[in-house]
Structure 1
Amino acid sequence: MSVLCLDLGGTKLAIGRVAYPDKHATQTDAVTAITRLPVPQQADYAGMLQFLNQAIEPQLDGSVRGIAIGVPGTVSLQNGTLLEVMNLPCLIGKPLAADLEARFQLPVSLNNDANLFALGESVLGNKRNLLGITLGTGVGAGVVFDGRLYSGKHCAAGEIGCFPYLDGIMEHYCSGQFFRRFAHCPGEQVRARALAGDTDALVLFQRFGEHLAELIYQTLLAYDPAEIVLGGSVSQAFALFNDALWQRLAERADVSRLEGLSIRASTEANAALIGAAHWFFQYKGDSNHEMAVA
């Protein structure tokens, strides 16, 4: 048996099947039939629902027992609707879970994508306490305490990208929006230029690391994590801003707060899908699956 898992971002969708209930479901290779698709921009709800239907349909076989979706926003667990979705406003207030359940006659679970990324990292790395931060179109975070995901009432416990900062919010300076604003192009292009030795691009990543350090400093005060794992497309350039990040952190935080702290980029491309599967098991009450990390 398996659960079909979707990681829906502002610009990209990853979808794959995760085997369960199975002790091997904690491994990356438990995810099969992975497809990655661009998310249509400026789509209305009907268009987005059609896109999701077309992505899900080919993945369904006799093994699929449910659908688990990570979304870039806050969620009402009671009625399966999205409350705030900055990058996909067409989904706000819409009965996404109910519509997909009616279409495919399968149970559907929703949670914030950063929450599921953090949960997946916890499971894959056998870490009971960590903070997962996603750096992509926006910024999100997930908090895992004692092997359990802490989502909050609206799956919004990690909305750190909305913290006020400079002339806006943290998300403006700690996500791909930073590069579009100051380099007028996607972060991937700036990364390529930096790797080729372009001085301006290297300086831009240094500035990015300094801004990210300010965000991480706030999370140290709020959550006091032992480990922080970075995900999302911007995290792939971790080597370009890691030094600047630590230099600024050393200026801002007491030595005691930084002692033993691990900050690293994720190496698990499917962490959010694994996390989505584990959340589905918990939310739908699968008594055969142990949610907590051993």
Structure 2
Amino acid sequence: MVLGLDIGGTKISSGLFRDGELTDSMEIKTPANSPKEEILETISKQIEAYKHYNLKAIGIGIPGLVDPIHGIIYNLANIPSFHNVNLKKYLEERFGIPVAVNNDANCFALGEYKFGAARIHKHVVGITLGTGIGTGIIANGHLYTGRLCGAGEWGAIPYLDGTFEDYCGSKFFKERYKTSAKKLSVRASEGDQEAIEIFYEFGKHIGELIYRLLLTFAPEAIVIGGSIRKAFPYFEKGVQEVIDAFPYLPISENLKLYVSSSNDSAILGAISLVEENEYLVNNEATINISNPLV
């Protein structure tokens, strides 16, 4: 039995996959501003709550740069003290079972590919829309992570007068319209024309992001997740208008655009990391198993 954890700047979520569904879910607050040792202890205590299940392995998704082979965390912006942390080694020594670690956006994409509507495709991109944006890539049925899981960091790509993160996440609503996607959704559902127009504009920006993803990866499917996905009916029109202008019609016309129906995709992806890491080690790590950053 494999335990999955989704570690974020505000909460740590976990669960087991049993009998075709996620069970025994737990959620605790992340002590994001605490010392590294306290954060490690918090993670460990959450894992200990599942020890009576005789766990086979642990899979963990976490934001930032991650070495998926050695399980080392780098450059974690939302948890200041959690840098250069060998999480895999620490937990394996403490619990005596294998631990797989990867970027949380990659876990979302993997979870949707393994358990969601995208499971019928081989080339998938997962996009999470929340405080920021994250991107995970499935190529030929497996995660493509790049160096230190740095592939697909589209939020940092320059766009208009800022980056895609400025236009495709909650910052767009907060900084440009002094509101939130959630509040605008309520207004849009009531027929408020201003809210509808703001979402249309937002959709155009998401469409521009997808346009570039199509040029870069030519996926068969794109899955949208994150908290803002719930407002998709209000920004779908703007997204589709940009996709319709894509020059290579055999790609864009056959693209499947899904909205995630699960709040647990990242946990399910973390659970799937254990099997995925066996593929990673056998097919990628053998090329250059050394890690100059360690």
Q: CA deviation at 1:157?
A: 1.8
Measured against aligned partners, the alpha-carbon deviations of 1:209-241 in whole angstroms (never above 9, x if no partner) come to 111111111101100112101111111211111
Residue 55 of structure 2: aligned partner: 64
Aligned to 2:103: 112
* Aligned-residue offset at 1:108: 1.6
In structure 2, the residue matched to 1:87 is: 78
* 2:81 match: secondary structure: helix
Structure 2 residue 9 is matched with structure 1 residue 15: no
Amino acid at match of 2:3: L
1:24-173 → structure 2 map (5 Å cutoff): 27=20, 29=21, 31-124=22-115, 125-173=119-167
SS of the residue 1:90 aligns to: coil
**TM-superposed deviation, 1:194:** 2.8
Deviates more, 1:226-235 or 1:103-112: 103-112
Equivalent position SS for 1:92: coil
Q: 1:89 aligns to what SS in structure 2? A: coil
Aligned to 2:198: 204
Query: 2: distance between equivalents of 1:42 and 1:272?
Result: 23
Aligned to 1:267: 261
Residue 242 of structure 1: aligned partner = 236
Gaps of 5+ in 1: 286-294
TM-score normalised to structure 2 length:
0.84
Question: Which one is further off, 198-207 or 208-217?
Answer: 198-207
Q: Structure 1's 47 and 196: CA in aligned 2 closer, same or farther, altered over 3 A?
A: farther
Contact 1:122 1:129 in 2 (8 A): no
Check whether the contact 1:70–1:112 (CA below 8 A) recurs between aligned residues: yes
**1:138 to 1:47, Cα distance in 2 relative to 1, 3 A:** farther
2:291 match: none
How far apart are the structure 1 equivalents of 2:219 and 2:66? 24
Q: What are structure 2's unaligned runs of at least 5 residues?
A: 280-294
Q: Distance between the aligned counterparts of 1:38 and 1:236, measured in 2?
A: 23
**Counterpart AA for 1:116:** C
Given that residues 74 and 156 in structure 1 are in contact (C-alpha distance below 8 angstroms), is that contact kept between their aligned partners in structure 2? yes
TM-score normalized by the length of structure 1? 0.84
> 1:288 — aligned with what?
none
Provide the rounded CA distance (Å) in 2 between the counterparts of 1:192 and 1:63.
45
Cα distance in 1 for residues equivalent to 2:161 and 2:225: 25
* Distance across 1 between alignment mates of 2:242 and 2:278: 43
Alpha-carbon separation, structure 2, partners of 1:41 and 1:198: 38
CA drift of 1:33 comes to 0.4
In structure 1, distance between residues paired with 2:142 and 2:235 = 30
Distance 1:268 1:129 in 2: 20
Tell me, in whole angstroms, the C-alpha distance in 2 between the residues paired with 1:90 and 1:138: 20
Identity of aligned residues (%): 36
Task: Give the aligned length.
Answer: 277
Measured after TM superposition, the shift of residue 185 of structure 1 is 4.4
- CA change 1:191–1:47 in 2 (3 A) is farther
One-letter code aligned to 1:219: L
> Any conservation in 2 of the 1:161–1:169 contact (CA below 8 Å)?
yes
